Structure 1
Amino acid sequence: MAEGGARTLRTAASKTTGPVPVPADRPLSGRRVLVLGGTHPTAAAGRARVVELGGAAAINLSAGVTDVVLLAEGAADRRMPRIAALEIPTYPADWLDAPAVAPLPRWVIGRRGPLVLPRGGVIDLPDQQLSAVWHLTASWAQRTTCEVDLVAFLVDEDEQVSCDEDFLFYGAPESPDGSVRLLADGPAEQTLAVRLGALPSAVRKVVVAAAVDGTPTFGDVGALQLTAGCGSSAPPLAQSALDAATTERTLLLAELYRRGPRWRFRAVGQGYDHGLDVLARGYGVDIEE
């Protein structure tokens, strides 16, 4: 059961070639929209509007993109030739005020996409899959000047680690018992693999965060896309586009936490101007000066 107003996006299969009916207040249901160009705040507002209209905000030109919105200088984006070759519809910024959409491509009709969570959105994880390995994957538009590191904190009911080894980062990518591992999937994607059923009982929450190395901020990185799914090959159960403001250097992405006998996933999206060292100390990690 979802909290935070999040709703599952479902597109019913149609036997006709006409457009699939969608709720009038969610005209982008079943669609995955890529926003190009603009300043970071205007692009973030555009992605938030996509989610408000029932769509999923894409961060990169993935295979599932159905529409593209062009903000200022978006037409000059290096991906535009590929978008044109794929014949993906493009629209100006004001299209998001009252989008009129073309029929969904045939490959989208009947496909059930992941639940799109807004910032703060929560879902319960299926009980029958808690013994499996859950993958939380963060991805972002590749930047040559920014390095983003995924980190995790395994914390107790007081939101403190029981030992420094419960802080996972690139230099210590696995928990002592092997229940949580960081996987480097490339320069613009990293994954946290969590076997919930193997976590020690004292661990009440797994906090997932990202940090920018050096002087850049998340304003330079842009939005991060976060997906949560059972295993590496199954379609994700949920996804969220997280936009920090211009000055943050660390960003809380998500939490996996116990609520009674169940585990829940929350998309957070809370940024801070301070560095990773300050964030880690807040969870009880002893950082050497």
Structure 2
Amino acid sequence: MTHVMAKGANISLSATAVRAVLRWTAAAGGPDVDVSALLLGPDGKVRTDADFVFYNQPRHPSGLVRHLRKQRSGSEVADIIEVELAQLPPDVDRVVLAGSAEGGAFPEVADLRVVLHDGAAANGVAPIAEFSCADAGPVTALLVAELYRRSGGWKFRAIGQGYADGLGALATDYGITVEDEAAPEPPVPPTVVPIVPATPEPESYALTPAAPRPIPPPPSYQPQHAPQPQTAPGYGYPPQPPAHRAPAAQPPFVLPPQGPQFQPR
């Protein structure tokens, strides 16, 4: 027998594993819907971000909560969460089932409902419970229902409360770290390299003079007659007489020719 539930109603569960199916009728131009699950501790918060199971993180690290691929039959769409209730650790106190609308709000989603099945039951067996979320209001994120511990067992509660700010606001309320989308970086202007004129060296910079080139010695000069050393008078030996020079050659003496003799008158 299927329990048709009203908002806020709850039932006890005997199943050790369940399959929660969010169903709706797709319409042209209408929003798409995604189901997700949050594993909460006794403080009502997730223990880590890994406790958020959704389309981008479809499997909990423990493997006990799984998000399956969407199924479509005609215009009806189903998005599914599977939970192994009996194997969840004691510090998991609740599993919240949520939905988010992409491209619109939930009033635009036709025939939205959650159907809870026994995970061990064969196909064709009637579901455990069904809850219609038709009066969700103008919201884009929705707390559909929850599975929670009570007196050593598990129970199922219909919620149907929404968030106008979307799935990010819902996740933040339960302790999920939501990163904002990075703002686009401004365009980088082209790099302009300025032309800097050459700067003259300051006067204080003294130029180092070049080393003088060595001047080669003149070729050796040997005089034809080297002067003889002389000793000043009164010191040492008397000066040496100058070397004898031959007299310069004189032209021969030629007698004038004899003229006419003088005859006295």
Q: Give the TM bin, normalised by the shorter chain.
A: 0.5 to 0.7
Q: Which residue in 2 is equivalent to 1:199?
A: 88
State yes or no: 1:152 paired with 2:37.
Answer: yes
User: CA-to-partner distance for each residue in 1:8-55, whole Å, 9 max, x for gaps?
Assistant: xxxxxxxxxxxxxxxxxxxxxxxxxxxxxxxxxxxxxxxxxxxxxxxx
Asked if 2 retains the 8 angstrom alpha-carbon contact of 1:220 and 1:246, the reply is no
Q: Distance in 2 between matches of 1:279 and 1:251?
A: 8
Report the residue type matching 2:28 in the other structure: T
> Post-superposition shift, 1:175?
0.7
User: CA-to-partner distance for each residue in 1:234-255, whole Å, 9 max, x for gaps?
Assistant: 3211111112344111111110
> Post-superposition shift, 1:287?
0.8
Q: Which residue in 1 is equivalent to 2:68?
A: 183
Q: Which residue in 2 is equivalent to 1:118?
A: 6
Q: Which residue in 2 is equivalent to 1:136?
A: 20
User: CA-to-partner distance for each residue in 1:116-162, whole Å, 9 max, x for gaps?
Assistant: 11111100001xx32xx310111001123311010110001111000
Q: Distance in 1 between matches of 2:138 and 2:83?
A: 30
Q: Distance in 2 between matches of 1:159 and 1:223?
A: 30
Find the residue that maps to 1:279 and give its secondary structure: helix
Q: Distance in 2 between matches of 1:245 and 1:266?
A: 16
**Superposition pairs of residues 1-289 of structure 1, within 5 angstroms:** 113-126=1-14, 129-130=15-16, 133-145=17-29, 146-187=31-72, 188-214=77-103, 216-231=104-119, 233=123, 234-289=125-180
> When the two structures are superposed, what TM-score results if normalisation uses the length of structure 1?
0.57
> Post-superposition shift, 1:225?
1.5
Q: Distance in 2 between matches of 1:256 and 1:135?
A: 11
State the identity %. 35
Report the residue type matching 1:273 in the other structure: A
Q: Distance in 1 between matches of 2:149 and 2:168?
A: 26
Asked if 1 retains the 8 angstrom alpha-carbon contact of 2:136 and 2:160, the reply is no
Report the residue type matching 2:175 in the other structure: G
> Post-superposition shift, 1:186?
2.1
> Post-superposition shift, 1:184?
2.2
User: CA-to-partner distance for each residue in 1:206-233, whole Å, 9 max, x for gaps?
Assistant: 000000113x100111341211111262
Asked if 2 retains the 8 angstrom alpha-carbon contact of 1:228 and 1:238, the reply is yes
> When the two structures are superposed, what TM-score results if normalisation uses the length of structure 2?
0.62
> Post-superposition shift, 1:262?
1.1
Larger radius of gyration: 2
Report the residue type matching 2:34 in the other structure: D
Unaligned runs of 5+ in 1: 1-112
> Post-superposition shift, 1:272?
1.9
Unaligned runs of 5+ in 2: 181-265
Q: Distance in 2 between matches of 1:245 and 1:149?
A: 15
Asked if 1 retains the 8 angstrom alpha-carbon contact of 2:4 and 2:130, the reply is yes
Q: Distance in 1 between matches of 2:110 and 2:11?
A: 25
How many residues matched? 172
Asked if 1 retains the 8 angstrom alpha-carbon contact of 2:7 and 2:158, the reply is yes
